[in-house]
């Protein structure tokens, strides 16, 4: 039997979520932070607005699991693309270029776990900052932006993508 990384039990009602919008197209609610787990993992809830998603990036020091609760999300990891709806997930090892995007007309909602934790603090650190600061700040939290957001599937009308630029 292994020792728990949790300092104490955690209960959280759905209505207790505090949502904030650190980047265009993303609403985040912190569910379990690194400080709760002794650094073992973090868990956030994210709502991805239609036609939104982060650019291609690498987590240099964490593995990431993204579990789709509602909607449809496209993922890319390495050279593979994957589309899934509620109940599907993507598990991405540290060091692998990846991204996700919601190409649908309705928001998508996911749970995102990173292990070890720590990256979740990037989101509150982005509050009030210009998009031009994303690459520098991301590096401080173990993430490198290595490319553009996922391109729309064939036959999808082009949409404005979220790319770091001056606010």
Per-residue pLDDT reduced to its tens digit, 91-103: 999 999 999 999 9
Could you tell me the CATH superfamily of domain 31-145? Jelly Rolls (2.60.120.10)
**The tokens of 90 are what?**
């993507």
Q: Residue 100: which of 162, 40, 159, 154 has the closest Cα?
A: 162
Length of the chain: 167
d(CA 30, CA 21): 12
Residues 107-129 pLDDT 10s: 999 999 999 999 999 988 988 88
Q: Which two tokens stand for residue 74?
A: 């496209």
pTM: 0.85
Checking if the pLDDT of 146 tops 80, the result is yes
Place of tokens 């692998």: 96
pLDDT tens string 19-65 = 989 888 999 999 999 999 999 999 999 999 999 999 999 999 999 99
Tokens of 37: 């787990």
For 125, which DSSP code?
A: H
Confidence check: pLDDT of 157 > 70 = no
Angstrom distance (rounded) from CA 94 to CA 131: 24
β-pair partners for 64: 92, 114
């Amino acid at each position: 039997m292994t020792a728990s990384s949790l300092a104490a039990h955690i209960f959280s009602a759905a209505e207790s979520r505090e949502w904030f919008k650190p980047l265009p197209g993303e609403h985040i609610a912190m569910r379990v932070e690194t400080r709760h787990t002794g650094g073992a993992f973090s868990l956030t809830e994210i709502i991805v607005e239609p036609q939104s998603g982060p650019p291609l990036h690498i987590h240099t020091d964490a593995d990431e699991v993204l579990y789709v609760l509602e909607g449809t999300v496209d993922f890319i990891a390495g050279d593979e693309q994957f589309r899934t709806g509620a109940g599907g997930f993507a598990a991405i090892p540290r060091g692998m270029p990846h991204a996700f995007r919601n190409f649908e007309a309705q928001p998508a909602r996911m749970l995102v776990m990173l292990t070890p934790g720590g990256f979740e603090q990037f989101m509150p650190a982005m509050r009030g900052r210009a998009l031009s600061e994303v690459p520098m700040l991301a590096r401080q939290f173990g993430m490198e932006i290595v490319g553009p957001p996922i391109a729309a599937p064939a036959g999808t009308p082009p949409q404005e993508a979220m790319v770091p630029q001056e606010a």
